[in-house]
Homo-oligomer: A and B are copies of this chain.
């Protein structure tokens, strides 16, 4: 690939900003996915240890104690709450997260492709421009007094040499112009698509974050509400067990 001067590069500050946003968005999404996955693992971990603690209560709870069956029901129900909470987090937050992030690799590849097509386009334009520049120089040369070499050629050849040079230069220039046109078309097609898609993707992040965190917050709210109730129920059963035990002290 040709090294091009700064002035040669097609500037598109808005596009550059879109790409920066895209990278930021991808980074944020990736981090969110990672943190959400870690959170789900922790939910599973806390569920497991909560379950063990509940089962411990069930085991030590003697058959003749007040509310033995209630305790079993509460333990079963809290377990179901945990399972439900975890499953819904997976369904409503993690899966839509995966879908959202699934859009990025294709667009990333197309941003890279656009970069390569821009280099092609810049290179074609540079080539064409240098030929244009040469043409102007030739025209200047024709207007100028002939060179020593030209002077050395026989008089009859002078015109033919001139015509040959002009024709050759025109051919190269036409070819370069065609190449430039093609390169421009390829670039502009991919560029136009991305210029539409990137801001739209960037804009979609707000709704996505809202949905994700509303899902999590909603599921949490419900989970905590239900768990709070279960714990209140357990508290009540234990209060009655305490009363039963205090009013019927065992014969020592």
Q: What secondary structure prevails in chain A residues at the interface with B?
A: helix
Contact of A249 (CB < 8 Å), options: B203, B218, B252: B203
Given the complex, which residues of B lie within 8 Å of A213, measured CB to CB?
57, 234, 238
Instruction: Give this chain's copy count.
Output: 2
Given the complex, which residues of B lie within 8 Å of A199, measured CB to CB?
250, 252
Given the complex, which residues of B lie within 8 Å of A60, measured CB to CB?
28, 32, 205, 209
A-B contact pairs, 21 of them (CB 8 A): A28-B56, A32-B56, A35-B49, A38-B49, A39-B49, A42-B42, A42-B45, A61-B209, A199-B252, A203-B249, A210-B239, A210-B241, A210-B242, A213-B234, A217-B232, A221-B228, A221-B231, A224-B227, A224-B228, A224-B231, A225-B225
Give the B-binding residues of A (Cβ under 8 A).
28, 31-32, 35-36, 38-39, 41-43, 45-46, 48-50, 52-53, 56-57, 59-61, 65, 196, 199-200, 203, 205-207, 209-210, 213-214, 216-218, 220-221, 223-225, 227-228, 231-232, 234-235, 238-239, 241-242, 245, 249-250, 252
